[in-house]
A and B are shown apart, each in its own frame.
Chain A
């Protein structure tokens, strides 16, 4: 302990300075969120009249209940359910598909194995936006516009996750697969009993990332959902902006923004420990 104290010689001033720096940075980043929160607790009149209020008002309950229950185009509660279904669908779907494809690529010898891997890898280089027109065409032809399957399926294939699981599987010693084979485990049994439990921290880390990815989808839901009851919350916020000369209902919009942040925050906080472990070590 004495050694450690000696090591931090700059204790007095240095420590304070770094903390002051960090706190200023934090406030700087947090300020817009604070403003949004303040705006969601005051009335429309308070927002429009300068200067903008910096402390919460008394309209919190009214604004939030108005947003949740009626919203502007559709109730925000409903949009949140849509977002939740989409985000969970994408996260679980991506994890399942990438686990299986990584399993196939790493553990099975089949003709064109390398080629398939590189094909999957290639899609990394094409973001959703680039292939959005053909994807829209396909989804429309399948009649999946304005549906959960239309929201979820096109976003499920994931080169990143496949790549991550492939890398992880390759660190699993071959002897483990062989031991399982001698023990009598068929490939899928090995997958469920051994590979899956071993990858659980990776799965948790990916789940957090993919949930947020799914939750924050904007362009795709905007394109394929025309029915307000299928709107997701992130695009819904944009839909709330008035067109033309209408007056924006800022308190409700801000309340919606704050509400949109809550589920990802809950996911991150509740899975933080697993998430960090998944990123830091591969637990062998």
Chain B
């Protein structure tokens, strides 16, 4: 168990700057999710914490100690990889025991710890199998088990669920969350999936182009995005962006107006904007209405299934509450 802090971390590969100075302070036992589109540097950031990638400038502290020049094994971390990275020729037991074996632990202790982890992850019947004889979800569990047996002070997850099918992903997501709660180990989790980020994180870090755009609790980030990018990236369907002048908003720097689909309502009187219904998508519990505004901007509006929906091709008026509108300046910063 330990705190992790990153101080003005920068990374460049040759002449390309990938990460332009990131500061994060992670409390003991906290679950932090780093989320962002591919290429935003989130995996690189995680790998620098792991020690698999050198830090170009800045400092990485784990448990208060500067670890910039330490090998991964000396950092007291464990990592779960995207492709699990299980040793194909070793049994599940040996895969989990390998780290302890290298650390020179006595055999009895190794067996004890591996069995405890296997029990926790319901892997007991599979200990003698090879990774290739396991399903994707089971492999994922073995990879987690390998991390758990070492009792590290920090867990690092690099998109661990992206190779699983949708149903399994939801299930493993819950398991990871429960496991982390139970063990109380500080965790750093990288994903491109904003749903994973929302559900897992105590606090999330939204990365964009090598910069941490916003760090905060998921709901706070959702309700109060700091930048246009965050507003667009977090939430599904994404936030609608419209030209501020179109809604005749008179705020000095506001260029773009953002409103989440669930905050838009269809009205007959006093609409703040009008648009033509392109098509409607009935998803069961909710229905998505796609509109085209007068300036060709596409807008999505979310209605409950019980409401009456406009017909495709109709012109409708929409409105929203002042509290729900988000204004952004030219650079995408919140006004």
Enumerate chain A interface residues (CB-CB to B < 8 A). 173, 175-176, 178-185, 189, 193-194, 197-198, 283-284
Contacts and interface: CB of A to CB of B under 8 A. Distances in A.
13 contacts: A176-B87, A179-B79, A179-B81, A180-B87, A182-B50, A183-B146, A183-B150, A184-B72, A184-B73, A189-B102, A193-B87, A193-B98, A283-B88
Interface of B: 50, 52, 71-73, 77-79, 81-83, 85-89, 98-99, 102-103, 146, 150
A179 B102 contact: no
Given A194-B87, A197-B89, A284-B88, A184 B99 contact: yes
A198 B89 contact: yes
B85 A178 contact: yes
Contacts of B72: 178, 181-182, 184
B143 to A, nearest CB: 8
Contacts of A198: 88-89
A178 B52 contact: yes
A175 B46 CA distance: 14
Contacts of A178: 50, 52, 72, 79, 81, 85
B102 A182 contact: no
Given A184-B73, A189-B102, 12 more contacts: A175-B82, A178-B52, A179-B79, A179-B85, A179-B86, A182-B52, A182-B99, A183-B98, A183-B99, A183-B102, A185-B98, A197-B89
A108 to B, nearest CB: 15
A268 B229 CA distance: 64
- The binding surface of chain B is classed by DSSP as loop
A182 B75 CA distance: 9
A185 B72 CA distance: 10
Nearest to B79: A182
Nearest to A179: B85
Contacts of A181: 52, 71-73
A185 B150 CA distance: 14
B103 to A, nearest CB: 6
Q: Which 7 A-B pairs have the closest CB atoms?
A: A184-B73, A175-B85, A183-B99, A179-B85, A184-B102, A197-B89, A182-B72
Contacts of A183: 73, 98-99, 102, 146, 150
B104 to A, nearest CB: 10
A179 B52 CA distance: 10
A175 B83 CA distance: 8
A175 B81 contact: yes
Q: Which of A176, A179, A189, A283 has the most CB of B within 10 A?
A: A179
B103 A184 contact: yes
B75 to A, nearest CB: 9
Contacts of B86: 179
A147 to B, nearest CB: 39
A176 B89 contact: no
A152 B273 CA distance: 87
A172 B88 CA distance: 10
Nearest to A196: B89
A179 B73 CA distance: 10
A282 to B, nearest CB: 11
Nearest to A198: B89
A178 to B, nearest CB: 5
B97 to A, nearest CB: 10
Contacts of A179: 79, 81, 85-87, 146
Nearest to B103: A184
Contacts of B87: 176, 179-180, 193-194
Contacts of B82: 175
Given A173-B83, A175-B82, A193-B98, A182 B88 contact: no
Nearest to A284: B88
Contacts of B99: 182-184
Given A183-B98, A184-B73, A184-B99, A176 B52 contact: no
A179 B77 CA distance: 11
A284 B86 CA distance: 11
Contacts of A193: 87, 98
B76 to A, nearest CB: 11
Contact of B85 (A173, A185, A197, A283): A173
B102 A185 contact: yes
Contacts of B83: 173, 175
A184 B70 CA distance: 12
A173 B86 CA distance: 10
A197 B88 CA distance: 9
A168 B78 CA distance: 27
A176 to B, nearest CB: 5
Contacts of B52: 178, 181-182
Contacts of A176: 85, 87
A153 to B, nearest CB: 32
Contacts of A284: 88
A84 to B, nearest CB: 30
